[in-house]
Amino acid sequence: MQLLLMPNLDKPNVHACVRRLTAMHFPEPVIFMMDERLKGNFSGCGPLKWGPFDELMEGCDACIAIGGDGTIIHSGKSAARHHKPVLGINLGRLGFLATLESDQLEKLQYLLTGEYTVEERMLLKITLCSPDGSREWLAMNDAVLSKGGPLTQIIELNVRNGEQGVGFYRADGLIFSTPTGSTAYAMSAGGPIVDPALQCICLTPLSSHSLFSRPIIFDANSVLYAQPASGSPKQGIYLTIDGEETVSVGPEKTVRIEKSETPVKLLNLTGKSFTDVLNEKLIWRSRK
């Protein structure tokens, strides 16, 4: 089995975790691979196969994301583009998407014995349309439209589902999230928690200036459009994808939000259900 390691260099324990992984003994041969651009950072680790990232991704059986939820999201989208499953090892604080903690590395042998499940998670395809062309992204958690001007100003957005109007929003912003992302920013903004086994698009307003503006859950086949209204501030509106990349959305641009045809596949080696993880990492920790 060939496993592509995708470590977050900003995590203080990442080198120790990689050393422990490469020193482990498995009942069958396991080849750990890593992007050749990281070779100088892991020279003291055990045997690693180095090469160009895309070639290693094509040749691997699975990806191992080592870090926090952000690392798993970033790695998961890369793995999804190549139709590879991804396993998360948590070195962060919450690690809601991770299967293993750093002290559970021995469970990695379950990949060889087949004692695991594969959970398919829906991704969003986000398209920024403008007269000059379009740009596309995948979002595993969410796409957020938010204000970029002074804190006292709110933005105005028109939202429709296909050709049917959804609403006019005066708010700090809007969150369009997947079921996976429903436990992230959307939850903090008062959105619903959605079982990730479902397929839907969640719209959660951010501090909406209305008594009747509430989160809405759309069918996964919906194609949503969000466009700045004429009353939006001159400072502009910004689109942020999974907290990774932010671009400006001018009045002549439209953001299209829809289900991606490609899901991300998360490997589960512990057998814990979504509600198990929800209780352990969100509800239980909040009571400590």
Token reading at 110? 């379950």
112 vs 85: CA distance, rounded Å? 14
107 vs 30: CA distance, rounded Å? 14
Token reading at 81? 């583009």
Give the residue carrying structure tokens 């289900």: 259
Three-state helix/strand/coil letters over 153-217:
CCEEEEEEECCEEEEEEEECEEEEECCHHHHCHHHHCCCCCCCCCCCEEEEEEECCCCCCCCCEE
248 vs 235: CA distance, rounded Å? 10
Token reading at 183? 């436990």
3-state secondary structure at position 282 = helix
Residue 271 vs residues 55, 117, 119: alpha-carbon distances, Å: 31, 7, 11
183 vs 266: CA distance, rounded Å? 16
Sign of CA dihedral 48, 50, 54, 59: negative
Local structure of residue 281 (DSSP, 8 states): I
Give the residue carrying structure tokens 């020193």: 23
* Residue tagged active-site, from 35, 69, 142, 242: 69
Is the distance from CB of 111 to CB of 267 less than 8 angstroms? Answer: yes
61 carries an active-site annotation: no
13 vs 21: CA distance, rounded Å? 12
3-state secondary structure at position 148 = coil
- By annotation, the residues acting in catalysis are 69
